[in-house]
A and B are shown apart, each in its own frame.
Chain A
């Protein structure tokens, strides 16, 4: 019987993978549902004996089985998009069935946990520090240092929290990992628990990811014996973007409004329920099994550039021809990612901008495409790599409208705790509207009141409005409690700098 492999990743399902799988079963084939290779423009991708066909539809089934399909792409593992990658975190992508423990064990699963459990805590933490792994959620804080703080914190009640509130537009690596290789995340969390002495872990997943939630719950039920006595539970978010910020995430798990907490105290010392807590992103924890394999930490530290070590699962999204997941060592340029690997825009029009790092990331102009993918290089260019999402826009994009959207999004998602973010975001929308209208002709009703001594009684020119916007963004950047208000100025400033013509 012919074995046909089709992904059950949400992206493949959204493009019709379930109907396609049913059609192959109807044709007498045995269908195995695997994780996704990450070539999303080819989904649903069909694999038969290593050969790929995509994007396939139910009416392609006969031609594929006859070997006469025009959708053939050759051997999947040799496809340039796959062959060019260096996959560590996503080593199993496309190759294993997500909830099959035999597949997991046969591909090296649980070896790192077994090894770590023969070591004392301090040695595990030392290897994670040596690997140079930095938090993949966006801030890039060294994971091992955070673990050491929790390990050394007094007390016996400690927690491991996995931040799976992947709300950034243009990112989907967490979702793919949770849906495609959930045991790897569970193993990484169990290693973290051993290293810091935690007994309980939580995975906080956004409610927009029902497929990932179902897979994780099933995976925990299957794997509990492997990780015992460590206990693991999935907690579901409730549609608040700000809960991706670690302290508001902790409040949300505790059953409170997802408001940001002031730091200090650090969550590593006073985190969940006031106890020492490791909060790491999905990709950070999923990198741990590879790092804790024999010799893994040294190998990891050799990859990448400068202080950005190892690999980054980069997500190519938006208006791009070859979108999907591309894991590679740090240091790759945007030009290589977007033009060579991504193949330019899907619309065929020239690229106008790429936004790196989600809604709070800067819009990068094609003249900056030489930038190497590296935390510090992006910081120097007033940008951020964030969670590694890259959203491509063609020349039809209106960057003034995108800048307005950045403020609008911040206003909708602000937790409301600090003033620069809560009020600044709404004032930002109004300012952009006025700038795009050419400035304000008259003072408004409130400004005109006699008791408003400091308000302008006449309108403002466009240049004056721009100066006001600059002031506002400075207040938000340096006065906000967390990155939501603090980083919203990045997309706005970059849009203003590179595409001023879109603001008139």
Chain B
């Protein structure tokens, strides 16, 4: 039997010290989530309990337990972006996102001198005003 994609991912990292986070990142990237079946497979491979794996998955913001197929727009709402008026852009961005786009807040993209900033897919944007943010959300 061919090894599944999940098995391949686990095997690629299993020999590393502290392999759990690299494995979970790879699973999240490949499947968009880490579901109970994946948790079970990881636990088995690393000789951990399922509770231990689930504890780690649920601790970190980057890992999700169900797959959300919507496009993601991450808008920075930390202090430096607040100081540059990001909160005033939020209602318009939410209206543009509606149910179609997953508008998430993040705390700091490290672009703090030129906020408000956002990340969409692999792209980062800074110096956003309302019109530009709404345009990006609609394009997402």
Q: Which residues of A contact B (CB under 8 A)?
A: 10-11, 13-15, 40-41, 43, 166-172, 175, 207-211, 235-241, 252-259, 273, 315-320, 323-324, 346, 355, 358-359, 389, 391-394, 397, 402, 405, 409, 412-413, 415
- Chain B residues contacting A392 (CB-CB under 8 Å) are 83
Q: Are B21 and A208 touching (Cβ within 8 A)?
A: no
Given known A15-B126, A169-B78, A252-B21, contact A324–B113 (CB-CB < 8 A): yes
Partner of B82, one of A235, A237, A405: A405
- Chain B residues contacting A238 (CB-CB under 8 Å) are 21, 24-25, 60-63
Given known A169-B79, A258-B60, contact A236–B108 (CB-CB < 8 A): no
- Chain B residues contacting A319 (CB-CB under 8 Å) are 83-84
Q: Are B61 and A239 touching (Cβ within 8 A)?
A: yes
Q: Are A167 and B108 touching (Cβ within 8 A)?
A: yes
Q: Are A240 and B117 touching (Cβ within 8 A)?
A: no
Q: Are B114 and A391 touching (Cβ within 8 A)?
A: no
Q: Are B82 and A208 touching (Cβ within 8 A)?
A: no
Given known A236-B25, A257-B56, contact A317–B113 (CB-CB < 8 A): yes
Task: Give the CA-CA distance A389 to B111 in the complex, in Å.
Answer: 12
- In the complex, B3 has a CB within 8 A of chain A: no
**16 additional contacts, CB 8 Å, given A14-B114, A172-B113, A259-B59?**
A11-B110, A14-B126, A169-B79, A171-B108, A239-B60, A239-B61, A253-B21, A255-B21, A255-B56, A273-B17, A273-B18, A319-B84, A358-B79, A359-B78, A397-B82, A402-B79
Counting chain A CB atoms within 10 Å of each CB, the highest count among B17, B20, B46, B84 belongs to: B84
Task: Give the CA-CA distance A249 to B35 in the complex, in Å.
Answer: 25
Partner of B112, one of A15, A171, A273, A409: A171
Given known A172-B110, A238-B25, A241-B107, contact A14–B79 (CB-CB < 8 A): no
In order of increasing CB-CB distance, the 4 nearest A-B pairs are A323-B113, A255-B20, A169-B78, A239-B61
**Quick one: CB contact mask for B20-51 with A, threshold 8 Å, 1 for yes?**
11101100000000000000000000100000
Q: Are A391 and B83 touching (Cβ within 8 A)?
A: yes
- Name the residue on A nearest B114 (C-beta): A40
Shortest beta-carbon distance from A69 to chain B in Å: 20
Q: Are A240 and B113 touching (Cβ within 8 A)?
A: no
Q: Are A346 and B108 touching (Cβ within 8 A)?
A: no
Q: Are B22 and A208 touching (Cβ within 8 A)?
A: no
- Name the residue on B nearest A204 (C-beta): B21
Count of chain B residues near A, Cβ 8 A: 41
- Chain B residues contacting A14 (CB-CB under 8 Å) are 111, 114, 117, 124-127
Contact residues of B between 51 and 90, Cβ < 8 Å to A: 55-56, 59-63, 76, 78-84
How many pairs of A and B residues are in contact by the CB < 8 Å rule?
147
Q: Are A318 and B110 touching (Cβ within 8 A)?
A: no
Partner of A253, one of B18, B55, B82, B127: B18
A interface, over-half SS: mixed
Task: Give the CA-CA distance A367 to B50 in the complex, in Å.
Answer: 55
- In the complex, B19 has a CB within 8 A of chain A: yes
- In the complex, B109 has a CB within 8 A of chain A: yes
- Chain B residues contacting A171 (CB-CB under 8 Å) are 108, 110, 112
- In the complex, B122 has a CB within 8 A of chain A: yes
- Name the residue on A nearest B87 (C-beta): A401
Partner of A240, one of B60, B81, B109, B122: B60
Task: Give the CA-CA distance A201 to B84 in the complex, in Å.
Answer: 38
**Selected A-B contacts with CB under 8 Å, 12 pairs:** A14-B125, A40-B114, A208-B110, A235-B21, A240-B59, A320-B113, A346-B84, A358-B79, A391-B112, A394-B83, A402-B82, A415-B59
Task: Give the CA-CA distance A209 to B108 in the complex, in Å.
Answer: 10
Q: Are A318 and B55 touching (Cβ within 8 A)?
A: no
Q: Are B113 and A315 touching (Cβ within 8 A)?
A: yes
Task: Give the CA-CA distance A296 to B79 in the complex, in Å.
Answer: 37
- Name the residue on B nearest A15 (C-beta): B126
- In the complex, B106 has a CB within 8 A of chain A: yes
Task: Give the CA-CA distance A56 to B114 in the complex, in Å.
Answer: 15
Counting chain B CB atoms within 10 Å of each CB, the highest count among A169, A209, A393 belongs to: A169
Q: Are A257 and B59 touching (Cβ within 8 A)?
A: yes
- Name the residue on A nearest B52 (C-beta): A256
Task: Give the CA-CA distance A89 to B110 in the complex, in Å.
Answer: 19
- Name the residue on B nearest A273 (C-beta): B17
Partner of B79, one of A235, A240, A391: A391
Contact residues of B between 92 and 109, Cβ < 8 Å to A: 106-109
Shortest beta-carbon distance from B23 to chain A in Å: 8
- Chain A residues contacting B115 (CB-CB under 8 Å) are 318
Task: Give the CA-CA distance A208 to B75 in the complex, in Å.
Answer: 12
Q: Are A11 and B21 touching (Cβ within 8 A)?
A: no
- Chain A residues contacting B122 (CB-CB under 8 Å) are 210
Shortest beta-carbon distance from A398 to chain B in Å: 9
- Name the residue on B nearest A39 (C-beta): B113
Partner of A318, one of B83, B109, B125: B83
Given known A253-B18, A255-B56, contact A393–B83 (CB-CB < 8 A): yes
Task: Give the CA-CA distance A219 to B79 in the complex, in Å.
Answer: 32
